Amino acid sequence: MQEKPRSRIITVGGLVVTALGLLNSSLAHAQSESYTAPRLVNTEQPDLNGIWQALNTANWDIRPHAAKPSAIPELLGALHAAPAGPGVIEGGEIPYQAWAAEQQRENFAGRLTRPTDRETNETTGDPEAKCYMPGVPRATYMPFPFQIVQTPAQILIVYEYANATRIVHMDREPGSPVPSWMGWSIGHFEGDTLVVRVTDQVPQTWFDRAGNFHSESLVVTERYTPISPYHLLYEATIEDPDVYMRPWTVSMPLYRRIEENAEIMEFKCVEFAEQFMYEHLLEDSGESP
């Protein structure tokens, strides 16, 4: 009489142990093995169309971090204070070369440096404060949604932030004409995973508000894997031998925006950056024109 329930408990317990083991090894693989995304019309590709958004604090700092006050608490009080976060880097650390670790600290200290002339504008301050296009992978985890527009021949990613856009050339490799803020994206599918190699990004973009950075040698390899009808797993491997000692990887889930009639809003932040960037130009520069 008592055998049956016990064996059931054991069975259930075994499943739980197995599931936990899979969770520990890789949440993504456990789920992707059991989940098959719907196909894009008339193709064998998984359909990634939709509005997606990260839900984490990576834009404050992609590394593990404690909560912090804003840069100007005397004006903002607790507004714009940074929430704590466990980080999105596999292993928790960016393998900076020694000089680069120092550069990151300088970047953070000078994050609100207002550009005084064209040279300082090129080299200082958080590009987000100036509403510059965020680059890859930062565009993915800005606290704004983005839309994947997928057709059989190509993919366009439209980010709400700064209305940045990025064409992913699929199964073709046209050459990049010129370095750019959102880089040059060449993609293909490996199984149900969209793999995008992003090259030729300008060196001015940062990974977050903490000043984590890269050089023009940056190569980002992104992987977008559907793991449920409502989730993508996003992984990005960062290679830049001029700045890091070895490649490193960030990963996070992306959540489908399922609100009825969800749509990308317009966030043209240029107009919000102008006073910060240009106000001092209205005054006498002291030079004769």
Neighbours of 213 (CB within 10 A): 22
Decide whether 186 or 233 has the Cβ nearer to another protein.
186
**Omega within 30 of 0 (cis) for the link into 83:** no
Of 176, 226, 213, the closest CA to residue 198 belongs to 176
Regarding 258 and contact with another protein (CB under 8 A), the answer is: no
**Among 167, 203, 215, 249, which residue interacts with another protein (rule: CB under 8 A)?**
167
The Cα 62–Cα 86 span in angstroms is: 9
Q: Where are the alpha helices (DSSP H) in 124-193?
A: 138-141
User: Structure tokens of 11?
Assistant: 């069975």
Regarding 242 and contact with another protein (CB under 8 A), the answer is no
Using the minimum distance from each CB to another protein, give the nearer residue, 190 or 271: 271
* 55 lies in the binding site for another protein (CB under 8 A): no
Number of residues that bind another protein (CB under 8 A): 53
CB of 215 to another protein, least distance (A): 17
Residue 55 to residue 63: CA distance in whole angstroms: 15
Residue with the two structure tokens 């894997």: 225
Least spacing, CB of residue 288 vs another protein, in Å: 8
With contacts defined by CB under 8 A, name the span among 65-73, 170-178, 220-228, 241-249 that binds another protein: 170-178
With contacts defined by CB under 8 A, name the span among 79-87, 127-135, 207-215, 251-259 that binds another protein: 127-135
Any contact of residue 289 with another protein (CB under 8 A)?
Answer: yes
* CB of residue 274 to another protein, shortest distance in Å: 5
- Residue 36 C-beta-side C-alpha neighbours within 13 Å: 4
β-strand pairing of 184-190 with 165-170: parallel
**Do 150 and 49 meet the contact criterion of CB atoms below 8 Å apart?**
yes
Does residue 132 bind another protein (CB under 8 A)?
yes
Helices and strands per DSSP (H, E), number in the chain: 6, 9
Q: With CA atoms as reference, report the closest residue to 218 among 248, 190, 195, 189.
A: 248
Strand partners, 82: 68
**Among residues 44, 99, 178, 190, which is the contact residue for another protein, using CB under 8 A?**
178
- Of 105-113, 136-144, 161-169, 234-242, the segment contacting another protein by CB under 8 A is 161-169
Contact between 149 and another protein by CB under 8 A: the answer reads: yes
* DSSP type of residue 282: G
To another protein, the closest distance from the beta carbon of 156 in angstroms equals 6
Q: Tell me which residues touch another protein (CB under 8 A).
A: 41-42, 49, 115, 117-118, 121, 130-133, 147, 149-151, 153-154, 156, 158, 163-165, 167, 169, 172, 174-175, 177-178, 180-182, 204, 261, 263-266, 268, 270-271, 273-274, 277-278, 281-285, 287-289
